[in-house]
Amino acid sequence: MWPPKPPSPSEARQVTAWRLRPWQPADVPAVAALSRAVFDMPWSETHFAHEVAADDSRGWVAVAADTRGSGQVVGVVVLWVLPPEAEIATLAVHPAWQRQGIGRALLEHALAWACTRADARVVLLEVRADNQPALHLYRALGFVEVGRRRGYYTTRHGRVDALIMRRPCGPLWRPSP
Ligand SMILES: CC(C)(COP(=O)(O)OP(=O)(O)OC[C@H]1O[C@@H](n2cnc3c(N)ncnc32)[C@H](O)[C@@H]1OP(=O)(O)O)[C@@H](O)C(=O)NCCC(=O)NCCS
């Protein structure tokens, strides 16, 4: 069943298990449901179906691998590959699975893939200026704000700026000679 049930207090104390894998067309309904669970303006199933089939798009999912929801999609990252640039198109972790390192792992994997397999020189992304969890994560991984689109997002609470962030592919993500 999706979405996974929030953990009970005893389950929350357990070490949870998950793994990353490339996404596939069969993941689209679960990924769209995940997007609806976390975003005010989620991508539709049609949009994700287009992404999973697009040559310039790559995606990975985090899949639960423990008794809380074995096999269920609990996180997703989508990368647009436009060498010499790449862009994090979406990143989401189900609320019941946040703060367990899944978002960081998905983002690091997409970054590494962009910078080693897709020959990107820089990775870009766009984020709501009031999204503190995401901003903490992006800054921790070396993204720096390079632009601002004023009032870009329409939310239930009014308009919110979009920040454009940029992260050069450093030596960490260059393929070894
Ligand atoms: C942003 C998001 C993907 C992070 O995923 P996550 O799996 O919870 O993140 P992680 O557990 O890997 O945390 C990595 C780092 O992110 C930051 N972070 C994550 N959640 C945070 C929070 N609630 N408050 C502050 N910092 C937070 C921290 O720096 C954290 O490192 P730490 O745990 O060592 O302090 C998740 O909160 C999410 O899906 N949010 C809703 C969708 C969204 O906003 N996506 C990004 C759109 S641009």
Query: Residue 176: pLDDT above 50?
Result: no
**Distance (Å) from CA 91 to ligand 1 centroid:** 10
* pTM, entire model: 0.90
Give the start-end residues of each E strand in the chain. Answer: 18-22, 57-64, 73-82, 85-93, 122-128, 144-155, 158-168
**Residue 173 scores a pLDDT above 80:** no
Percent of the residues in the chain that have a pLDDT greater than 70, as a whole number:
84
- CA gyration radius, the chain: 16
Atom of ligand 1 nearest to the CA of 127: 48
Contact assessment for residue 137 and residue 104, using Cβ atoms and an 8 Å cutoff: yes
Averaged confidence pLDDT in the chain? 89
- Mean local confidence (pLDDT), 58-75: 87
Q: Which residues contact 139 (CB under 8 A, 6 or more apart)?
A: none
pLDDT tens, residue by residue, 111-127: 999 999 998 999 999 99
Listed range (13-27, 91-105, 136-150) with the worst mean pLDDT: 13-27
Question: In the chain, what are the domains?
Answer: 17-173 (3.40.630.30)
Q: Which of 49-53, 86-90, 167-171 has the lowest mean pLDDT?
A: 167-171
Does the pLDDT at position 3 exceed 80?
A: no
Q: Is 153 a catalytic residue?
A: no
pLDDT digits (tens, 9 = 90+) for 128-159: 999 999 999 999 999 999 999 999 998 888 99
Rounded CA separation 135/175 (Å): 27
**Residue of 45, 85, 108, 126 with catalytic role:** 126
| Known catalytic residue at 138 | yes
For the chain, the residue count is 177
Q: Is the pLDDT of residue 2 over 90?
A: no
Lowest mean pLDDT of 55-69, 75-89, 95-109, 115-129, name the range: 55-69
- pLDDT-derived band at 6, boundaries 50, 70, 90: low
What is the chain's percent helix, strand, coil content, to nearest 5? Answer: 35, 35, 30
Distance between CA atoms of 85 and 115, rounded to whole angstroms? 9
46 Cβ contact list (under 8 Å, min separation 6): none
Q: For the chain, how far is it from start to end, CA to CA, in angstroms? A: 46
The catalytic residue among 51, 87, 138, 153 is 138
Mean predicted confidence (pLDDT) in 159-176: 81
